[in-house]
């Protein structure tokens, strides 16, 4: 039986089924293993891992611990309550913004590639080239955040590093806007998001793209990138303190388990705490050479769970309202058996977005695409509901084709 336990309850002889943390947090070569020493338990605690899933059929049990299913149901109840709160309004329809967003995506990823190349060669970062791109991203997000953010969910292994930076920029701008942060501060946060991983330019490709778990030495190299990025960017006088702070502190955690300075609580600035949430969310939803990305909906549930320790719970909840429980671009399965892609959140119920349906799973055929408003009743284009998210690879379909029916 799978159970969720606190790391303080771990004992030698328990079987770890899931360390329940983001991919770059834990110091183990695998996610599933039998605890064989107190040193392994100490590593888990020191890594800031608080919740662990154990399999009592393969090792020692904790009698009063909730089952994994019970823990997940409790989380779902909390998320359902959260989903009833208002979502941000959109200014232009998704289809109207998609073409512009596609151009911005290409422009921004090319720019980050250039910035990384310059940093690797020891050249100063030309902020004059970066700021207009941040402005374009900001304007697209203000018109319709789902367009650019939805397109940025598609990354391949070769361009992950560059598109991840663009995604963090776009998501952080959307997050700032949804929280009512001043426009100039939002733009500077966007600059920090776009440049936050500049230090990875100094990480050897063999480490950065290693298709297996990192050794302790390689892990230490990766953990240097916030400090390296800070040192690179502060050579450019046009980079202000907000961008520098985000670059240096986006891996800090509220419980003090982060790096490079093990800051805790409000020692970490508001914007760096927001950037930490955005960075982890985008990282765990992407396919990498060493792991399969999880769905956006599953990632948001993880963010919510981890906010008990690693993130500001209020910021985590506000981020979920910003992107939606089912973000734009998420492929979902409806109660009717139809597959669809989310195209617009509902203004007051994040569990009932608008969905473009295009495939029937019970008949295993494509159907005439149509938009279904899950907030509406029978006879008004609705009368259906989401029963879960689906993997596009499972059905061998490309949901991005159906983001717009225009």
pLDDT of residue 3: 84
Q: What is the SS3 assignment for 213? A: coil
Between 325-329, 330-334, 366-370, 379-383, the lowest mean confidence (pLDDT) is in: 379-383
Please give the Cα distance from 327 to 355 (Å, whole number). 11
Residue 192 clears pLDDT 90, i.e. is over it:
yes
- Give me the mean pLDDT over the 295-314 stretch: 90
Q: Nearest-CA neighbor of 386 among 308, 318, 321, 333?
A: 333
- The pair of structure tokens assigned to 391 is 């993997």
* Whole-number percent of the chain with pLDDT over 70: 92
pLDDT digits (tens, 9 = 90+) for 216-274: 898 899 999 999 999 999 999 899 999 999 999 999 999 999 999 999 999 999 999 99
- Give me the mean pLDDT over the 100-118 stretch: 95
- Domain match, 342 and 317 both: no
Please give the Cα distance from 250 to 193 (Å, whole number). 9
- Domain match, 274 and 178 both: yes
- The pair of structure tokens assigned to 246 is 């985000």
Please give the Cα distance from 116 to 23 (Å, whole number). 23
Residue 25 clears pLDDT 90, i.e. is over it:
no
Q: Name the average pLDDT for the chain.
A: 87
Task: Give the chain's end-to-end CA distance (angstroms, integer).
Answer: 49
Q: What is the dihedral of CA 336, 392, 327, 354, to 10 degrees?
A: -30
pLDDT of residue 378: 55
**339-346 contacts: CB < 8 A, separation 24 or more?**
339/390, 339/395, 339/397, 339/399, 340/372, 340/402, 341/399, 341/400, 341/402, 341/403, 343/94, 343/146, 343/371, 343/403, 343/404, 344/90, 344/94, 344/146, 345/87, 345/88, 345/146, 346/87, 346/374, 346/375
- Domain match, 239 and 198 both: yes
Please give the Cα distance from 4 to 12 (Å, whole number). 16
- Domain match, 103 and 213 both: yes
pLDDT of residue 69: 83
Decide if 71 is inside a domain: no
- Domain match, 241 and 307 both: yes
Of 290, 323, 356, which residue constitutes the final position of a domain? 323
pLDDT of residue 345: 83
Decide if 80 is inside a domain: no
Residue 170 clears pLDDT 90, i.e. is over it:
yes
pLDDT digits (tens, 9 = 90+) for 342-355: 998 877 777 888 99
pLDDT-derived band at 380, boundaries 50, 70, 90: very low
Q: Identify whether the C-beta of residue 8 lies closer than 8 Å to the C-beta of residue 37.
A: no
Decide if 83 is inside a domain: no
Decide if 316 is inside a domain: yes
Residue 89 clears pLDDT 60, i.e. is over it:
no
Please give the Cα distance from 349 to 354 (Å, whole number). 11
- Domain match, 160 and 27 both: no
pLDDT-derived band at 29, boundaries 50, 70, 90: low
Decide if 85 is inside a domain: no
Of 323, 354, 387, which residue constitutes the final position of a domain? 323
Q: Identify whether the C-beta of residue 373 lies closer than 8 Å to the C-beta of residue 390.
A: no
pLDDT of residue 32: 84
- Domain match, 45 and 174 both: no
pTM equals 0.83
Which residues span the domain enclosing 48? 2-66
Please give the Cα distance from 281 to 274 (Å, whole number). 11
Please give the Cα distance from 148 to 118 (Å, whole number). 26
Which range, 121-135, 184-198, 209-223, is most confident? 184-198
* Whole-number percent of the chain with pLDDT over 90: 49
pLDDT of residue 264: 96
Q: What is the SS3 assignment for 302? A: helix
Decide if 295 is inside a domain: yes
- Domain match, 52 and 169 both: no
Count of structural domains, the chain: 3
- Domain match, 53 and 130 both: no
């Amino acid at each position: 039986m799978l159970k969720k336990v606190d790391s303080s309850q771990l004992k030698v002889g328990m079987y770890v089924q899931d360390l329940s943390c983001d991919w770059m947090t834990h110091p183990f070569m695998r996610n599933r293993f039998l605890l064989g020493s107190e040193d392994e338990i100490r590593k888990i605690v020191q890594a800031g891992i608080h919740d662990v899933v154990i399999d009592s059929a393969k090792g020692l049990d904790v009698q009063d611990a909730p089952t994994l299913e019970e823990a997940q149901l409790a989380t779902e109840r909390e998320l359902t309550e959260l989903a009833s709160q208002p979502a941000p309004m959109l200014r232009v329809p998704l289809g109207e913004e998609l073409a512009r967003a596609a151009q911005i995506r290409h422009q921004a990823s090319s720019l980050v590639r250039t910035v990384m190349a310059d940093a690797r060669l020891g050249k100063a970062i030309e902020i004059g080239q970066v700021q207009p791109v941040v402005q374009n991203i900001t304007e697209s997000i203000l018109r319709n955040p789902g367009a650019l953010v939805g397109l940025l969910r598609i990354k391949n292994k070769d361009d992950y590093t560059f598109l991840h930076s663009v995604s963090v920029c776009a998501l952080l701008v959307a997050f700032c806007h949804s929280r009512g942060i001043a426009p100039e501060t939002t733009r500077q946060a966007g600059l920090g998001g776009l440049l936050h991983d500049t230090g990875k330019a100094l990480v050897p490709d063999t480490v950065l793209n290693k298709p297996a778990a990192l050794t302790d030495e390689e892990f230490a190299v990766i953990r240097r990138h916030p400090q390296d990025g800070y040192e690179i960017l502060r050579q450019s006088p046009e980079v202000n303190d907000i961008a520098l702070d985000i670059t240096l502190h986006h891996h800090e955690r509220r419980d003090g388990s982060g790096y490079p300075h093990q800051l805790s609580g409000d020692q970490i600035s508001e914007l760096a705490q927001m950037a930490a949430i955005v960075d982890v969310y985008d990282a765990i939803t992407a396919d990498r050479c060493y792991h399969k990305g999880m769905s956006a909906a599953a990632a948001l549930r993880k963010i919510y769970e981890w906010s008990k320790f690693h993130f500001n719970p209020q910021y985590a909840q506000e981020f979920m309202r910003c992107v939606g429980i089912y973000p734009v671009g998420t492929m979902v399965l409806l109660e009717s058996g139809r597959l669809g892609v989310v195209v617009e959140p509902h203004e007051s119920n994040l569990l009932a977005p608008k969905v473009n349906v295009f495939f029937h799973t019970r008949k295993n055929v494509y159907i005439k695409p149509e938009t279904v408003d899950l907030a509406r009743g029978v006879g008004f284009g609705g009368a259906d509901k989401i029963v879960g998210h689906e993997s596009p690879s499972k059905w061998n379909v490309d949901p991005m084709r159906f983001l717009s029916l225009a």
